[in-house]
Structure 1
Amino acid sequence: MNKIPWDPSKRKRMADYHPNQRDEIRRKYLIWRPNQPDIDFPYREFGKKKNRRRFNADWYDDYAYCLEYNEKEHKAYCLCCYLFRDNIKDSHHGHDAFIVEGFNSWNKPKRSVTHVGNRNSFHNRALKDCEDLLKDQSISAAMHRKSEIEKNEHLIRLNAAIDVCRYLLHQGQPFRGHNESKDSKNKGNYRELMDYTIKQNDVVAKAFKNAPENNQLLSPTIQRDITECFAKEILSYVMEEIGNGAFSLLVDECRDVSNKEQMAVVLRYVDICALVQEKFVGVVHVEETTASYLKSCIDLLFSQLGLNIKQVRGQGYDGASNMSGEFNGLQAKIMSENNSAYYIHCFAHKLNLVVVAITKKIFDVGDFFDMVSVLLNVVGASCKRKDQLREHHQEEVRKAIVCGEISTRTGLNQELSFQRPDVESTKRELEKLRTNERWDSLMRKVYCFCEKHDIPVLDMEDAYVNPKKPRQKTSINNEHYYRVDCFFAVLDLLGEEFNDRFNEAKLLKLAKHYPDDFNHKDMVTLEHELGLYIDNILHDTRFSILEKIGDLAKLMVDTRKHLSYPLVYRLVKLALTLPVATATVERCFSAMKIVKNALRNKIGDDYLSHSLICFVEKGLLDEITNEVIVDRFHKMKDRRGKNEM
Structure 2
Amino acid sequence: MKKQSTLDGFLKRKHESSSQVPVEPPPTVIDANTPNDSVPMTDNPSKKPFHEMNDVDLNTLERDPSLRIQIYDYPVNQQDIIRRAYINRGPFQPILSTYPKSGPEDHKRSFQCSWFKQFPWLEYSQSSNAAKGIYYRWISKLEESRWEKCAFLQHIGTECTSFHNVAQKSYDDLLNEAQDIQNKIEKFTDEDRKKNRLRLKTIIYAVRWCAFQAIAFRGHNERPDSINKGNFLEMLEAICSFNNEMKELFRTAPKHASYTSRTIQKEILNLIANRVRRMICDEIDGGKFCLLVDEARDKSNREQMSIVLRFSIRGQGYDGASNMRGHFKRLQALISKDCSSAYYVHCFAHRLQLALMAASQGVIALQKFFTQLSFVINVVGASSKRADQLRDAQAEQMAYFKSISELETGRGLNQIGTLQRAGDTRWGSHLKSVSSLIKMFSPICEVLLKIIEDGTGSIRGDADSTYETITTFDFIFVLHLEKEIMEITYLLCQALQKQSQDILNALRLVAFTELLLQKIKDEIWDSFLSHVKSFCLERNIDIPNLSSSYFSRGARARNERSDHTLEHHYRVDIFIEAINCQLMELDHWFNDSSMELLHLSSTLDPKNSNEPFRSGDICQLVEKFYPEDFNETEKNLLKMQLQHSEADVIQHDDYKQLISISELCQWLIKTRRATNFYLIYRVVSLILTLPVSTATTERSFSAMSLVKTRLRNKMEDEFLNDSLVFYFERELAENITLETIVQDFKDAKDRRIPL
Measured in 2, the distance between the counterparts of 1:549 and 1:581 equals 17
Quote the residue 1:333 is aligned against.
334
Quote the residue 2:525 is aligned against.
439
For the Cα contact (< 8 Å) 1:417–1:583, is it kept in 2? Answer: no
Residues 255-285 of structure 1 show CA distances to partners (whole Å, capped at 9, x for unaligned) of 1111111111111113xxxxxxxxxxxxxxx
Quote the residue 1:482 is aligned against.
570
3-state SS in 1 of match to 2:228: coil
Q: Unmatched 5+ residue regions in structure 1?
A: 1-11, 26-137, 271-311, 407-411
Structure of greater Rg: 1
Q: After superposition, where does 1:160-239 map in structure 2 within 5 Å?
A: 160-239=202-281
Quote the residue 2:77 is aligned against.
19
Structure 1 counterpart of 2:218, which letter?
Answer: R
Measured in 2, the distance between the counterparts of 1:497 and 1:326 equals 23
Q: Cα RMSD over matched residues?
A: 3.5
Quote the residue 1:619 is aligned against.
731
- CA shift, 1:541, in A, is 2.7
Measured in 2, the distance between the counterparts of 1:345 and 1:602 equals 34
Distance 1:21 1:606, change over 3 A: closer
Pick from 526, 532, 537: which aligns with 2:638?
Answer: 526
The answer to whether the aligner puts 1:263 opposite 2:305 as a matched pair is yes
Measured in 1, the distance between the counterparts of 2:630 and 2:539 equals 62
Measured in 2, the distance between the counterparts of 1:375 and 1:443 equals 24
Distance 1:447 1:222, change over 3 A: same
Which structure 1 residue ranges, 4+ long, deviate > 6 Å from structure 2? 12-17, 390-401
Measured in 1, the distance between the counterparts of 2:687 and 2:310 equals 12
Q: After superposition, where does 1:352-371 map in structure 2 within 5 Å?
A: 352-371=353-372
For the Cα contact (< 8 Å) 2:72–2:79, is it kept in 1? Answer: no
Distance 1:604 1:336, change over 3 A: same
- CA shift, 1:431, in A, is 2.7
Distance 1:483 1:342, change over 3 A: same
Structure 1 counterpart of 2:524, which letter?
Answer: R
For the Cα contact (< 8 Å) 1:417–1:581, is it kept in 2? Answer: no
Q: After superposition, where does 1:240-279 map in structure 2 within 5 Å?
A: 240-270=282-312
Instruction: Tell which deviates more after alignment, 225-234 or 518-527.
Output: 518-527
Measured in 2, the distance between the counterparts of 1:427 and 1:514 equals 31
For the Cα contact (< 8 Å) 2:359–2:582, is it kept in 1? Answer: yes
- Percent identical across equivalent pairs? 37
**So what's the TM-score if we normalise by structure 1?**
0.67
Measured in 2, the distance between the counterparts of 1:16 and 1:355 equals 59
Distance 1:210 1:366, change over 3 A: same
Quote the residue 1:499 is aligned against.
587
For the Cα contact (< 8 Å) 1:257–1:596, is it kept in 2? Answer: yes
For the Cα contact (< 8 Å) 1:588–1:616, is it kept in 2? Answer: yes
For the Cα contact (< 8 Å) 1:417–1:584, is it kept in 2? Answer: no
For the Cα contact (< 8 Å) 2:341–2:626, is it kept in 1? Answer: yes
- CA shift, 1:625, in A, is 0.8
Instruction: Tell which deviates more after alignment, 367-376 or 542-551.
Output: 542-551
Structure 1 counterpart of 2:252, which letter?
Answer: N
Measured in 1, the distance between the counterparts of 2:321 and 2:741 equals 40
Measured in 1, the distance between the counterparts of 2:553 and 2:235 equals 65
Measured in 2, the distance between the counterparts of 1:360 and 1:21 equals 64
Instruction: Tell which deviates more after alignment, 570-579 or 514-523.
Output: 514-523
Q: After superposition, where does 1:360-399 map in structure 2 within 5 Å?
A: 360-387=361-388
Distance 1:22 1:221, change over 3 A: closer
Residues 359-418 of structure 1 show CA distances to partners (whole Å, capped at 9, x for unaligned) of 332111111111122223324432233455577789999969659x99xxxxx8983255
Measured in 2, the distance between the counterparts of 1:331 and 1:240 equals 26
Quote the residue 1:577 is aligned against.
689
Q: After superposition, where does 1:415-454 map in structure 2 within 5 Å?
A: 415-416=498-499, 418=501, 420-422=506-508, 423-435=510-522, 437-451=523-537, 453-454=539-540
Structure 2 counterpart of 1:427, which letter?
Answer: E
3-state SS in 1 of match to 2:283: helix
Structure 2 counterpart of 1:484, which letter?
Answer: V
- CA shift, 1:478, in A, is 2.7
For the Cα contact (< 8 Å) 2:188–2:754, is it kept in 1? Answer: no
- CA shift, 1:524, in A, is 2.2
Measured in 1, the distance between the counterparts of 2:244 and 2:185 equals 25
Distance 1:353 1:390, change over 3 A: farther
Distance 1:417 1:586, change over 3 A: farther
Quote the residue 2:664 is aligned against.
552
Distance 1:197 1:377, change over 3 A: same
Measured in 2, the distance between the counterparts of 1:445 and 1:13 equals 80
- CA shift, 1:143, in A, is 7.9
